[in-house]
Amino acid sequence: MYRSDVVEAEGVQPGAVVLVQEAGDTGTKRHAGKSARAIPTLSDKNVRPTRPPVTRTLGSAFYSTASEIAVRMISPKPVNDIEQLIRERIRAAIAYRERFVQDTNAYRVIFSEGDFLPGLIVDKYNDILSLQVLTQAWDPDPMRNIFLSELRVALNPRVIVERIDPRVRKLEQLPERESGIVWPGNSPKYSNHEDSFKYSNHDVIPNRFSGEEPGVPGREAGSSSLRSAPLLGMTSGERGATGASPVEGSTSAITTEFQMNSVRFLYDALGGQKTGAFLDQRENYRAAEKYARGEALDVFTYQGGFALHLARSCDKVTGVDSSRPALEAADQNAALNGREIEWIEANAFDLLRDYSDAGREYDTIVLDPPAFAKSRQTRETAIRGYKELNLRALKMLRPGGVLVTCSCSYHVSASDLLEVLASAALDSHRNLRILENRGQAQDHPSLLGVPETAYLKCLISVVS
Ligand code: SAH
């Protein structure tokens, strides 16, 4: 519920568990729909007597004094024991993964609203857990103790790290904090919530790129130039390091190796974007691999997620990204799997324009750009970005070629992406047959009724 729908929340502390009641006609309501009253249930006893008449109780929620989303429902009933509720929800989230996640020791264990734990994200990479706290409710020590102890008992990790997005903490008006190990070790000291809490308008629905903003669509003057020489001037196979782990002998507390679909990856818990790897594409990697063939181009490869899978079904694979550190990690992953992949550090828009103008051809192209639309306002620009990428890719695909095109922008819908693709097909005079219309992996459950939990689109089509 948005702040504008809250009629009364006097005395409610940041992150409190509140009872939400539907307010009757206040006489001041500007629009139809529910208005809510938040009543603290755990802390503050100094609640003023109710003013607007209460019509019914809607349930319990986490309250944020800073977010534009003031109220996040956690139960349709009054919650008396928040600890028990959280422990049960975590156990249920783990049971859900046991049922639906296969062929991997890396997956999202808790996906915020998708697991009825709004504001908490936990990823598992083999023996490391990586978590993100996105709302006020999860930040105080007593709450941390609850979820950390439950996760430790249930999953027995070697290390638990917390990844901080300073922007989210600022917008939630939480005290500054650094990324680091939260277990084992001496519990870091947290400052309490007495800082001043001011209004801000921020939507904290988890996004693949809640951290860094890794790119912008379009080609701007002065944007990074195309460097088409393979990274480090060699492919991974030439180093003779096949099969050997580059971190062998230097295992640190925050690095590990995980596998998905029998592909091996290195993981550095405090490096990389987001929580280090794009787990949401795990099932799409396998689908892409199934149809991919010939010469493949993986655009926006990051640490080689698609490229490493494509290498099992294609003759030659090239991965493109503008981030050199990402490509260095990708190259290490290739060596770990004994694969030869060519890496190119370039702006994807420049490279696709130059390659398609030069008449280069591929049998398989993957497009998995960062979220171009971070808000509804940037949707149109984002759609132009997607159109440009898809048009260039279609021009380069040989007949019978496979296009895997993705969008992780929540504000660009599945039907928007289909429309973009249709218009790119028209402009490039190609016919497309959709092989698969996919979304995010099942360990990122999308909750019917909370559309924001469904954000990733992945269309696989064959070109003629
Ligand atoms: N396909 C990857 C995830 C891609 S994330 C996987 O499955 O793991 C998006 C990537 O796009 C990031 O690695 C980022 O560095 C890269 N990127 C952002 N803007 C770019 C641009 N203009 N050109 C090339 N790469 C870009």
Give per-residue pLDDT as tens, 316-359: 999 999 999 999 999 999 999 999 999 999 999 999 999 999 99
Q: In this model, does residue 43 exceed pLDDT 60?
A: no
Calculate how far, in angstroms, residue 350's C-alpha sits from the geometric centre of ligand 1. 14
Q: Are 8 and 50 in contact (CB under 8 A)?
A: yes
Give nearest CA residue, ligand 1 atom 21. 347
Q: Does residue 235 have its Cβ closer than 6 Å to ligand 1?
A: no
pLDDT of res. 39:
73
Omega before 184 within 30 of 0, i.e. cis: yes
Q: Are 281 and 406 in contact (CB under 8 A)?
A: yes
Active-site residue, from 314, 406, 408, 458: 408
Using 50, 70 and 90 to split pLDDT, how confident is the model at 63? very high
State the Cα angle at 266 between 265 and 271, rounded to 5°. Answer: 130
pLDDT of res. 273:
53
Given the DSSP bridges, would you call strands 263-268 and 295-299 parallel, antiparallel or unpaired?
unpaired
Q: Which atom of ligand 1 is nearest to the CA of 209?
A: 5
- Alpha carbon 363 to chain centroid distance? 29
Calculate how far, in angstroms, residue 352's C-alpha sits from the geometric centre of ligand 1. 14
Q: Does residue 372 have its Cβ closer than 6 Å to ligand 1?
A: no
Calculate how far, in angstroms, residue 368's C-alpha sits from the geometric centre of ligand 1. 7
Q: Which atom of ligand 1 is nearest to the CA of 208?
A: 5
Average pLDDT over residues 281-299: 98
Using 50, 70 and 90 to split pLDDT, how confident is the model at 277? confident
Q: Does residue 214 have its Cβ closer than 6 Å to ligand 1?
A: yes
- 83-109 confidence digits (pLDDT tens): 999 999 999 999 999 999 999 999 999
Q: In this model, does residue 214 exceed pLDDT 50?
A: no
Calculate how far, in angstroms, residue 385's C-alpha sits from the geometric centre of ligand 1. 14
Q: Which atom of ligand 1 is nearest to the CA of 366?
A: 1
pLDDT of res. 40:
67
Q: Does residue 333 have its Cβ closer than 6 Å to ligand 1?
A: no
Calculate how far, in angstroms, residue 326's C-alpha sits from the geometric centre of ligand 1. 9
Q: Which atom of ligand 1 is nearest to the CA of 348?
A: 23
Give nearest CA residue, ligand 1 atom 1. 301
Q: Does residue 319 have its Cβ closer than 6 Å to ligand 1?
A: no
Active site annotation includes 406 = no
Q: Does residue 321 have its Cβ closer than 6 Å to ligand 1?
A: yes
Q: What does each C-alpha distance from 247 to 295, 333, 342, 350 come to in angstroms? A: 30, 11, 21, 34
Q: What does each C-alpha distance from 150 to 71, 93, 156, 393 come to in angstroms? A: 25, 12, 10, 46
Q: What does each C-alpha distance from 293 to 179, 315, 400 come to in angstroms? A: 41, 7, 10
DSSP state of 446: P
Task: Name the average pLDDT for the chain.
Answer: 84
More confident residue, 285 or 205: 285
Q: Does residue 272 have its Cβ closer than 6 Å to ligand 1?
A: no
Q: Does residue 12 have its Cβ closer than 6 Å to ligand 1?
A: no
Q: In this model, does residue 144 exceed pLDDT 80?
A: yes
Give nearest CA residue, ligand 1 atom 7. 305
Provide the percentage of residues in the chain whose pLDDT is more than 70: 80
pLDDT of res. 23:
86
Calculate how far, in angstroms, residue 253's C-alpha sits from the geometric centre of ligand 1. 27
Q: Does residue 385 have its Cβ closer than 6 Å to ligand 1?
A: no
42-56, 337-351, 363-377: the lowest-pLDDT one: 42-56
Q: In this model, does residue 291 exceed pLDDT 90?
A: yes
